[in-house]
Structure 1
């Protein structure tokens, strides 16, 4: 069977994916979609007591979306024969990705110093909950735990309602994307130095980085971010409003846009009103201003206001459910999902990469692999004989 070829962009690189759940697979998915030869290394059936976290739902949309374009090899790394196979793969690999607790890779001999001895050009990418050192180094880390500790839940939700988690896995996904960027940076640097290096991030650090302006406001200005609901913390008017038939968002940033907004609402006099003249004025009188705006918005439909505001250069858009979102003509035009037909599991839909390259774009070429689907194939590529491969199966190494 030919290797999966999703794109030519990264086809010269081989990535060994030892990661699980979401952050690691998110990182590796980006490399796979751009054509890297990704080998997903999993324990044989029955070895991992937590295997049902990613086995029972293997045919489900989430697992498929995270693990498309990868080949699957089973290895029981507690067996010396399996570790020998892994090390043989490392000899020719470019990247190893793992998201175990920090001490696990050292116990299994998959730490950077061990891999570097085998292949000085190897890049080890590690994702952990709280970092590779420090007082929380041995703590397990899940997205919601980190959303709480990283400040996200304190600024999400309506004022006074208490902490609220974001509706998506912000810490997991951002850690995965930051790690993919780190890997690409390390690969570029390797072209100069000829040496690999250890790339690592944590869900906690990635989550705090995603706070961005909220964290910077506190560090530099002493301004403690709080829950602002659907209002923007600093710009006004910016947030959620209601038309006669539903909800929509508006965004007015700067005094020039404010003047245009006033014209769109046939209220040019608001542009000179001392209560609303500057961003600071509008923020101080936000409840009063929002009430006046809402009274006008209630008179027309969402589509009317969205079209009118955008015609005046004021950002505005409807609030969709997920099904409604996929029906939007611009979203359909962008090609945000791709259909793949598989002879075994039928038709599946995948979210495409949001970054486009004009010549070597990403693609979804293959659904997620069956458990150990490519084990014998990959062992054959390593020049193991059929007799040796059968022996590995017999002793439970693969």
Structure 2
């Protein structure tokens, strides 16, 4: 029987967080091995941002993240900022641009970011071992034994960077959560995040034939302190999508409504209130077409015009119509699930982790980073920044 391989650090997962952790640890002279069951590293990096990798966001702050402990991410973000990631990208001569709302994308391809990570890992002496499945992880005295299909590995530290449940076709599994529970860590309930919402049967009948139409709206999910987002909404053949819906979806819970303001910063029906103005359905439709696609405007009026308004266009009735336009409530039947979710919300409870190092409080040498942790960012480079920051934090300690 072959003797076990010996390393200082074994990183489980060759994604954004895992590779960042590995290179940071390797730079400290640690002997680092990265294991992954996939045949190639960084598969989710390569499909991100439409293939151009939205690698960070200029505005990334702890308040842009969901977590049972909203303060947990502060330490990691102080340790590795968006400016630090930009400096690393510029060090490798990778051209990039700001798209909207602080989102930074590669000019060429997401391969640039993956190649950056792989080059840094190689220079730090990190070893990558792909197509390797983990069968068991056990604590043995001061270190760990990792049993794989390729043999046994011993290490002083194990870093879990196995990601969440989103996009199972890319190989996502619940392995990281199972491992956390094996060692006594709690899991905050997981759910799909940054995911399209599915209409109820009634709303599907009313709206899905308008699939493909979009508009800029403000969306929020009902909570004690609703978080509102303003971006594009897209009607699909099953429900609602687009950046603003993905953002709101992370805050949404089953049975709750989503509130949509279809006319941000605009009093659409104000022209009908002017002296001698025309007041009828055609005038209302013309006004609504200034901010919505024609077919969507026509449908919205047909669904929302109060009874009797077709004959009685009083100031009060017009005000009611305006109010409905700015507070359209829909109660989704659900989401498109992990198949379409960009991230997994929830995860390893931050109460069981040290915020400075990402180490499990009760299991010395065991670390959790990236998406597997209960820290979920907004759409637009925020989750990559968490991957980098949490990876660096663990890499400096593991």
- What TM-score comes out, normalization by structure 1 length? 0.27
Per residue, is there more strand in 1 or in 2? Answer: 2
Per residue, is there more helix in 1 or in 2? Answer: 1
- What TM-score comes out, normalization by structure 2 length? 0.27
